[in-house]
Structure formats: C-alpha cells, structure tokens
Amino acid sequence: MIVKERLGVYAVIIKEGKMALVMKKNGGYKGKYDLPGGGNKHHESLIETLNREVMEEINAKVTSYNLINVYTYNIKWTMDDGNIEDLHHVGVIYKVSIDREEIISDLVHDTLYAKWIDVDDINEDMVTPFTWYSLKELNLK
C-alpha cells in the first residue's frame, strides 16, 4: 500500500444556478465531477495555485475569490498497476468568480471535460467529496 498526502486548492464557481465542474479521468475520483483545482506546488502560494489550476482546467481567469473552508477526506483506491493508494486529501476551497461564461477543459491533465451543471441536478453520488461538502457549506444541498 502506498500512503500519500495531498494539499489541493479548488474553485467553487457558480453562475445563474449552474456550477462549473470537471470530469475526472484518473485516480480515486475517476468518473466523478470535481471542482476545478489541483495540487499546490513547492514555493507556490495558495492563490497562485488557485489561479494556475483554474486556468489549466477550464481556461478561465480568476477575478475574485473568498475562502469557503478547508476540508479533509481519506480515500483508498486501486491504481492501474494493482497497488493500493491510501490518500489523505486536504482541500482549500474558495468561492470564485471568473472572467468568462465559456469553460474549456485542458485535456492534458486529469480531466475528460469541463461543463456547467445545474446545481439542482447534482447529487452526492456524482461528485467528489469536496464538491459535495462545498454545496452543503453554501446551503445549496
């Protein structure tokens, strides 16, 4: 078993009742919708990570942000090589405004696509834990 810790920074982006989400193509959250965001790099501030990840994942510029909360989640999953990864995931979650309506996914990273999804259509089974926690924190679920 491989034990890992990950610090990520994520963006809750909601416009006109729809949430910007990305579909994960790899890892323990494969097949789930997730918040745009990702890992904090060495010597990078949390806001630098937020800006970089939003640009990488949905090709948008952050115009404003407010901290929602910091969440943790533990997930175990079987990797492609058969090893089990036990991940302690820490997510710093911001409510974010962006500079555009259209979102475009960068297929180079770990997402299949990005799309706006009506908040009323989102259920817990279709999203990552941080996405669900954020919706509950904002009293949207």
For residue 9, is pLDDT > 80? yes
**For the segment 71-97, what is each residue's pLDDT rounded down to a tens digit?**
999 999 898 899 999 999 999 999 999
Residue 7 CB: number of other CB atoms within 10 A? 15
Report yes or no: 101 and 89 within 8 Å, Cβ to Cβ: no
With CA atoms as reference, report the closest residue to 104 among 96, 120, 119, 116.
116
Fold adopted by 2-137: Nucleoside Triphosphate Pyrophosphohydrolase (3.90.79)
Instruction: Return the bridge partners of 65, or none.
Output: 96
For the chain, count helices (H), then strands (E): 2, 8
| Domains of the chain, residue spans | 2-137
Spatial distance between the Cα atoms of 127 and 120, rounded to a whole number of angstroms? 13
**For the segment 101-125, what is each residue's pLDDT rounded down to a tens digit?**
888 776 656 788 899 999 999 999 9
Instruction: Return the bridge partners of 84, or none.
Output: 78
